[in-house]
Amino acid sequence: MSTAHKLDCEAAENDCRFIIQSENEQEAIELAKNHMKEGHGKDFTEEELRREHLQVV
């Protein structure tokens, strides 16, 4: 069974419905990083995203 890496932006930013889900962790992090920067003007490091926001489902 494969796992997916998921970031639910609503947990990090109120009122944002953006959800990223990918089987590729690196891809999920890249997408999350771009979204946080472009959508919220916030810079997260890959490590922060991986540690604090990425869930394995």
User: Is 21 in contact with 28 (CB distance < 8 Å)?
Assistant: yes
Name which position in 19, 23, 39, 42 contacts Zn ion (CB under 5 A).
39
Name which position in 13, 30, 46, 48 contacts Zn ion (CB under 5 A).
13
Stretch that binds Zn ion, among 4-12, 26-34, 41-49 (CB under 5 A): 4-12
The string of DSSP letters for 1-48 reads: ----EEEEHHHHSTT---EEEES-HHHHHHHHHHHHHHHH-----HHH
Is residue 18 a contact point for Zn ion (CB under 5 A)?
Answer: yes
Binding site for Zn ion (CB under 5 A): 9, 13, 16, 18, 39
